[in-house]
Structures are given as C-alpha cells and as structure tokens.
Structure 1
Amino acid sequence: MRELPSCFSCIALFVLNLLGLLQSPENGVSSILDAALAPPEISGVYFFGGKGRTIKSSKLSYDARLGQELWSTSSDLLLQLQLATMETLTSL
C-alpha cells in the first residue's frame, strides 16, 4: 500500500479495520504461535487473532482449476518481470 496515493491507503486501512481484518502485532504473532504449536492432527485450518481461534478457508481456495490458473498467471508475470529486468540491465 506504500505505492498507492495516501488517500487510497487511508481509505483501505479504514475499511480493513472496520471489517476486523487488521490485527495488532501481538495478535498477529499469537496466530503464528498457535499454528506452530498446534498438535499434528490439526491441519488445514487458518489461525486468526490468537487464543487458538481458527477460521474456515473460502470455497474458492479449494478450486484446483482456479489455483492452477493463478499459479500459471503468477509464473508468467514473474517471468516477464525477470526478462524485463534482464533487458534493462543489459542495456545499461
């Protein structure tokens, strides 16, 4: 969000905070610790907000075709970026 104009960043932060999607650093690290210390039988869940709280993944996250499309598109974009960077470096 550093690349966005400040007015957009402020609006985005306000909306994310209003929706409860922003966490304090303390809660953020609590989620990481909860996941790291979870028993091995707990797998495939998302920890959020500390205190062992979990949330379900969206239905879209289980769409294998969509996942493959995202992977392919991301790979293509990164390859294009890498090629553009190499072209820039060689033209210097």
Structure 2
Amino acid sequence: MSSAMQLSSIPATTDSLAGALEAVNPTESISLLYRILDDPSSSPEALRIKEQAISMLTDLLTQEKKAEELRSLLTQLRPFFSLIPKAKTAKIVRGS
C-alpha cells in the first residue's frame, strides 16, 4: 500500500492516527496515513485503526481533488479488504 514517497511504515495506533490529524498540512497527513496503512500488523486493534486511516485518507484525497490517487488507493487496499468482513469493505468503498 505504499505511497509514491516510499517511506517506512509507522505502527497503526491511536497515537499515530492522532499525529496524522495534527499534521501541518494535508500532504503531510496523507503521507502519514499511507505509512499507517503500510503497517504489517493485522491485530484487531490495528485493523480498526487502519479502517479509520482509510476513511481519513479518502476524505483528504477527495478534498485535495486527487481522484487518480484515490482510485489507486482502492486497488492498493485489496489485500487489506481480504482481512475484514465484506460489509465493512462495502462501507469503506462506498465512503459511508
């Protein structure tokens, strides 16, 4: 799920999610959220944090009018979607 910047992952925790929220600008937030999604952990807590990160990331990409990056994100998320229930996947994809 790497972004174009190819930075190392950061742990999918509430602290890292808060850090993305507090970022100075949308570009920094987007970068941090991609790094959270790159965390290899699949614990229930990490999956929950990643779901929140996806929601935040899709909102930011929409606000920044980055349609192509948003489309690419959905493709990159396919392995993640296999780890969560189909209903949650549908909710994320719909953006609800």
For the criterion TM > 0.5, the same-fold answer is no
TM-score per shorter chain, which class? under 0.3
Whose RCO is larger (CA < 8 A, sep 6+)?
2
Structure having the higher strand fraction is 1
TM-score normalised by structure 1 residue count: 0.26
Structure with max Cα Rg: 1
